[in-house]
Chain A
């Protein structure tokens, strides 16, 4: 085989930084801001221009117990989040997040986020699913919103603040893999400049992964095309586990058949779900809070209505989100973005007509395990949790476990800024006690990355040099589609042993095809096929993690809903799963049930 490119990683440009943030969404930019403000030399690596990050698409809002509309305090928020997590969330992390919430939202406001306002000039807060007053009583209005463009408003403001501080951003650079030093500490990363296909080493004793979610592993999803779990892939290949990967949130109201999100804000402002008989069916499933039950509950209710033949449309395969009874003004002022999306993608103005919706893959509750400080942790040979020197993770790619088995709406934007800031403060603290020492890379670590990169360069060279016998019609796009279909069939809203088993048995064929597939694009300039191949390797590893973890968990908890094990089983399964890709094996760790200042919330039956 003739090699077209010999990827030389020995003499490629190397730059050194105090800290490197990989990913420029809300979590990465909040962290970068903190680090830049503390005067550190930092780099932000992003495969897209920062404001293209998926945070931009978050609609509904960010939770904080400001108490601007209804009485509130962080302890109630903490209770709701723990209950929402179906008791799998770590209570110390949830406690910390809820304590920080009010201040960090005010800080965002000070950064310029154009929150909607109440008559007294304070931040507007709307009702959202799973939020209550006084530990489960009346509905709370806790979700701070900038119309229904809250993610856009926050991401742009954070980017703007980074402009103010002059943060160095490597835009349209793809981080391929993490580099390790001899002692196992993370010492840098290898990045590819997407513009010209050139590789570089960025060296730093502090690497923060903020690479976001991986919803592209499912066929129908609300995620951006870029959400391919790159940080998770990097962590797995560096030998670290992923936590709670069986828990994927299906958002109840994606536009049927398409996936674009109709924000939960639509129900928060009074929208109602109806079946083919016109019934507001949520009354049956959550008599107390109805349409504002937590997302897993509403998603299952919709799936049941459809399964039992009460779906709408020619194929009876969706339900309707009804906003027609609301004042036009409410929809136009509070929900302008989803009105646009509905008109654009469903051809329906929600002011006049109900919108067809169905649950759609939305959010990954699992991820790279971290502690409250954003440090990545893993179980050592003795089974104790140890931190990985030099590696941090925040946001959707991380699992500090504030969302447990199900995330409440409005908590993801909160998660990214709280832990983005916290991880940066941790790094900053480290840098204060001893300035950045750049470790030499371990040869094997570099070799592993070289092999991976060369594989994708060779596989495009093969097509050029070999004849068509070996050149099958298979391609990266088709393999990705097949993977997504497998995951949708095997690990959807409802799960069952045989379906998941079948999915697991189908994955090796996908893996083999990906090993063999040849790339047809020879170019080094914006080679999006090569990029898609790197991304697909990450998605495939995530698929393995998901199915393996889900198959093992013989209970129903939060978003993981099994037909063959319908009850939650705290005796056997009140524990986090850890998936290791090298061995394809699972291990487990306990859930933290001991918050620092509040008394623990004992698991009890979850009723809405």
Chain B
């Protein structure tokens, strides 16, 4: 099996270059994941850089661009990929080393939408009630693992990362806007109501296509837009 991996070490490389690794097919089983294969690559060359943590698709560390599409390597079966497998870092953010990107901007966008529940002061003796129907509205928005696969596949993000909030941050914003317990509904909407922050989204669906958790940021943004039209 052949993998072409984008390499870049700023200590010695001016620009990224491709390096091809060969892995013995005997080491690959039908259910081997891409992350397992990357570990085998690192046995050949321990300097190959990629992040990983949970290895089961819940922590979001190992987002990367595989054969042109963003994936989490730990839940991408090698059998689903056509060869040679071409692996690059998630696009649109600075590369630190090999497949490791600098996600500061992505995290900043997330922080900028005030992604925390805001309520009146609450009594610790009492639960903050929410009906099953109200809670069900959060399904599809709270499960985001901040892997960055969506935002880094979005052309609006590539072109205006300083202005457009990006699908992950907007999904987080919508998670709080639709939470029956949050009291900053209107303020949150006002903050996002700008031609660039939210309305730069053109709904080309790259984010939804890329989300390894099956979430639909594009639909969440669509709903945000309609709520703005209705409530502001």
Contact = CB atoms under 8 A, between A and B. Distances in A.
A156 B142 contact: yes
Interface stretch (B127-135, B150-158, B196-204, B216-224): B127-135
Interface in B4-36: 9-11, 31
A132 B11 CA distance: 60
A112 interface: yes
Contacts, number: 157
Interface in A42-57: 48-49, 51-54, 56-57
Interface string A335-359: 0010011001101000000000000
A379 interface: no
Contacts of B227: none
Interface string A89-122: 0000000000000010011011110111111111
Contacts of A49: 61, 103, 107, 146
Contact of B9 (A48, A66, A106, A523): A523
Report, as a range, how many residues of chain B touch the other chain.
35 or more
Contacts of B116: 111-112, 157, 160-161, 163-164
Contacts of B107: 49
Q: Per DSSP, are chain B's interface residues mostly helix, strand or loop, or mixed?
A: loop
Contacts of B191: none
B47 to A, nearest CB: 4
B100 interface: yes
A412 B54 CA distance: 17
Interface string A481-498: 000000000000000000
Interface in B106-131: 107, 111, 114-117, 119, 122, 124-131
B10 A52 contact: no
A391 interface: no
B61 A521 contact: no
Interface string B172-186: 000010010100000
Contacts of B1: none
Interface string B39-61: 10011011101011111111111
B3 interface: no
A226 B53 contact: yes
A118 B132 contact: yes
A345 B31 contact: yes
Contacts of A115: 135
B127 A122 contact: yes
A529 B48 CA distance: 9
A75 interface: no
Given A519-B46, A526-B100, A163 B115 contact: yes
Given A109-B128, A344-B77, 19 more contacts: A51-B59, A51-B60, A52-B61, A106-B124, A106-B128, A107-B124, A110-B119, A112-B117, A149-B58, A157-B116, A164-B114, A164-B116, A344-B56, A520-B47, A523-B97, A525-B97, A527-B47, A529-B46, A529-B47
8 contacts: A51-B146, A52-B51, A106-B128, A111-B116, A116-B135, A341-B56, A345-B56, A526-B100
Interface of B: 9-11, 31, 39, 42-43, 45-47, 49, 51-61, 75, 77, 96-98, 100, 103, 107, 111, 114-117, 119, 122, 124-132, 134-135, 138, 142-143, 145-146, 176, 179, 181
Nearest 9 CB-CB pairings of A with B: A112-B117, A121-B129, A160-B116, A529-B46, A521-B47, A52-B59, A52-B53, A526-B97, A117-B135
